[in-house]
With several copies, the nearest count.
Chain A
Amino acid sequence: MSTLVTRVRQRQIGQLIDAGKRLDGRGLGDYREIKVEQGIIERAEGSARVLLGKTEVLVGTKIETGEPFPDTPNEGVQTVNAELVPLASAAFEPGPPDENSIELARIVDRGIRESKAIDTAKLCIEAGKKVFVVFVDVYVLNHDGNLIDASALAAVAALLNTKMPNYEIKDGEVILKAGYTPLPMKSRPITVTLGKIGDKLIVDPWLEEEQIIDARLSIAINDDGNICAIQKGGSGYFTPKQIVEATKIAREKAVELRKKLEW
Chain B
Amino acid sequence: MSEKPEKLIDKKGLRLDGRKIDELRPVKIEVGVLSNADGSAYIEHGKNKILAAVFGPREMHPKHLSLPDRMVLRCRYHMAPFSVQERKSPAPSRREVELSKVIREALEPAVFVEYYPRSGIDIFVEVLQADGGTRCASITAAALAIADAGIPMRDLVVACAAGKIDDKVVLDLMDTEDKVGVADVPVAFMPNLNAVTLLQMDGILTPDEFESAVNLAIEGCKKIYALQKEALKTKYMNTKEEVEE
Are B37 and A87 neighbours in the complex by a CB distance under 8 Å? Answer: yes
B76 to chain A, nearest CB (A): 5
Given known pairs A85-B124, A243-B214, the reply for A114 and B204 (CB within 8 Å) is: yes
With beta carbons under 8 angstroms apart, the residue of A43, A144, A226, A236 that contacts B130 is A43
Q: How far is the CB of A83 from chain B (nearest CB, A)?
A: 6
Chain B, interface size category, equals: 35 or more
Q: How many whole Å from A102's CB to the nearest CB in chain B? A: 5
Complexed CA–CA distance, A161 and B51 (Å): 23
Contact flag A41-B49 (CB < 8 Å), given A64-B86, A105-B94, A142-B36: yes
Q: Does A247 contact B (CB under 8 A)?
A: yes
Would you call A193 an interface residue if the criterion is a C-beta within 8 Å of the partner chain's C-beta atoms? no
Q: Are A240 and B207 in contact (CB under 8 A)?
A: no
Contact A87 B126 (CB under 8 A): yes
Interface status of A166 (Cβ within 8 A of chain B): no
The reply on A173 being an interface residue by CB < 8 A is no
Q: Is the interface of A mostly helix, strand, loop or mixed?
A: mixed
B130 to chain A, nearest CB (A): 7
Output the least CB separation between B145 and chain A (Å): 9
Interface-side segment among A16-24, A27-35, A133-141, A146-154: A133-141
The answer to whether A99 touches B199, judged by C-beta atoms less than 8 angstroms apart, is no
Give the chain B neighbours of A110 by CB distance below 8 A.
202
Interface SS, B side: mixed
CB distance A243 to B82 under 8 Å? no
* A239-B194 contact, Cβ under 8 Å, with A99-B98, A106-B98: yes
- Tell me if A226 and B80 are in contact (CB < 8 A): no
Q: Which of B162-195 contact A (CB under 8 A)?
A: 185, 190, 193-195
Residues of B within 8 Å of A106, CB to CB, are 94-95, 98
Q: Report yes or no: B206 in contact with A226, Cβ–Cβ below 8 A.
A: yes
Q: Are B126 and A85 in contact (CB under 8 A)?
A: yes
Q: Which residues of B have CB within 8 Å of A42?
A: 47, 129
- Contact (Cβ within 8 A) B34 A232: no
A contact residues around B76 at 8 Å (CB): 86, 94
Q: Are A43 and B126 closer than 8 Å at their CB atoms?
A: no
CB within 8 A of A87: which of B51, B84, B105, B206? Answer: B51
Check if B117 is an interface residue, CB within 8 A of chain A.
Answer: no
Of B40, B82, B87, B215, which contacts A41 at CB under 8 A?
A: B82
| Chain B residues within 8 Å of A, Cβ to Cβ | 1, 34-37, 40, 47, 49, 51-53, 55, 58, 76, 78, 80-87, 90-91, 94-95, 97-98, 100-102, 105, 108-109, 122, 124, 126, 128-131, 185, 190, 193-207, 210-211, 214-215, 218
List 8 extra interface pairs beyond A90-B55, A230-B199, CB under 8 A: A41-B83, A62-B82, A90-B36, A97-B94, A137-B80, A137-B81, A232-B102, A244-B211
The contact sample of 29 A-B pairs, CB cut-off 8 A, is A41-B49, A41-B82, A43-B129, A44-B83, A47-B82, A62-B82, A62-B86, A85-B124, A87-B34, A87-B124, A88-B34, A90-B36, A90-B58, A96-B91, A106-B98, A137-B87, A139-B80, A144-B35, A226-B206, A227-B205, A228-B201, A228-B204, A230-B185, A232-B199, A234-B105, A239-B195, A240-B214, A243-B196, A247-B210
Interface residues of A (CB under 8 A from B): 41-44, 47, 54, 56, 58, 60-62, 64, 70-71, 81, 83, 85-90, 94, 96-97, 99, 102-103, 105-106, 110, 114-115, 135, 137, 139, 141-144, 215, 217, 222, 225-240, 243-244, 247-248, 251
